[in-house]
């Protein structure tokens, strides 16, 4: 029994790492984050830094690439509100990281984050034309770094020009900001 398990582990060690390196493009493994925060305390800043580590690890992973390329909505490999882009084009747009307000493919998530407090159900907000993303401390202060990584990714995808319905519907979960934000949170738990 033990011998069978051992040989399986050796087999995976020989083949699995090479297979994943071959598929992740260079732009994924070199992906960087450039985050400026405003009026945050040291605990809040530490959470942002941990979230940045998650984001870089996840975007550099083969699991992220696979989940984005194989994402399905209405039975087809596509996102809702895709701006007419294929999954592969959306993946490349993330790696290019050209924010609409400061165009240029710099392979880097550029974000300026402000915090505010509001006793509402709004986690945060931004717009494609805004230089900032705004996070409600009502949620931010209780979030894990993986949840913050989801929130940062969601708001940043708006900066790349992706939108979603304002009101909740099940199809909204398949929009680029919601769907990729969720993938980010799920995979963050593994890094
Ligand atoms: Zn949004």
Cα of 45 to ligand 1 centre, how many Å? 22
Cα of 151 to ligand 1 centre, how many Å? 9
DSSP characters for the chain?
-HHHHHHHHHHHHHHHHHHHHHHS-HHHHT-EEEEEEES--HHHHHHHHHHHHHHHHHHTSHHHHHHHHT-EETTEE--BT-TT--HHHHHHHHHHT-BTTB----SEEEEEEEEE--SSS--EE--TT-S-EEEEHHHHTT--HHHHHHHHHHHHHHHTT----SS--GGGGGBHHHHHHHHHHHHHTT-
Cα of 66 to ligand 1 centre, how many Å? 23
Cα of 144 to ligand 1 centre, how many Å? 19
Q: What pLDDT, on a 0 to 100 scale, did the predictor assign at position 156?
A: 96
- Name which of 106, 117, 100, 153 is nearest 39 in CA terms: 117
Cα of 159 to ligand 1 centre, how many Å? 10
d(CA 97, CA 50): 20
pLDDT tens for residues 40-97? Answer: 999 999 999 999 999 999 999 999 999 999 999 999 999 999 999 999 999 999 999 9
Cα of 46 to ligand 1 centre, how many Å? 24
Q: What pLDDT, on a 0 to 100 scale, did the predictor assign at position 6?
A: 42
Which residues are CB-contacts of 190 (< 8 A; sequence separation ≥ 6)?
63
pLDDT confidence bin for 22, thresholds 50/70/90: low
Cα of 80 to ligand 1 centre, how many Å? 13
Decide if 56 contacts 31 (C-beta within 8 A). yes
- Distance between first and last Cα of the chain: 31
Name the percent of the chain lying above pLDDT 70: 88
Which tops the pLDDT comparison, 12 or 153?
153
Cα of 79 to ligand 1 centre, how many Å? 15
DSSP characters for 18-42?
HHHHHHS-HHHHT-EEEEEEES--H
Cα of 106 to ligand 1 centre, how many Å? 23
For all residues of the chain together, what is the average pLDDT?
90
Residue environment code for 111-137, b if the CB has 16+ CB neighbours within 10 A, otherwise e: bebbbeeeeeeebbebeeeeebbbbbe
Which of 45-49, 131-135, 181-185 has the least mean pLDDT? 131-135
CA dihedral 165, 166, 168, 171 (to 10 degrees): 10
d(CA 98, CA 109): 8
Name the percent of the chain lying above pLDDT 90: 83
Cα of 165 to ligand 1 centre, how many Å? 8
């Amino acid at each position: 029994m033990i011998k069978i398990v051992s040989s399986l582990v050796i087999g995976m060690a020989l083949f699995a790492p090479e297979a994943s390196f071959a598929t992740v493009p260079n732009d994924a493994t070199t992906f960087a984050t450039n985050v400026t925060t405003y009026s945050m305390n040291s605990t809040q800043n530490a959470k942002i830094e941990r979230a940045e580590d998650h984001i870089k690890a996840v975007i550099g992973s083969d699991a992220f690439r696979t989940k984005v390329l194989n994402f399905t909505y209405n039975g087809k490999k596509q996102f809702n509100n895709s701006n007419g882009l294929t999954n592969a084009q959306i993946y490349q747009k993330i790696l290019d990281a050209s924010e609409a307000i400061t165009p240029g493919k710099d392979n880097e998530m550029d974000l300026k984050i402000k915090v505010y407090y509001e006793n509402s159900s709004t986690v945060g907000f931004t717009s494609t034309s805004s230089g900032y993303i705004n996070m409600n401390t009502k949620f931010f202060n209780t979030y894990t770094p993986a949840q913050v990584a989801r929130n940062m990714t969601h708001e940043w995808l708006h900066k790349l020009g992706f939108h979603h319905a304002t009101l909740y519907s099940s199809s909204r979960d398949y929009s680029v900001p919601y769907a990729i934000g969720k993938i980010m949170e799920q995979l963050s738990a593994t890094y």
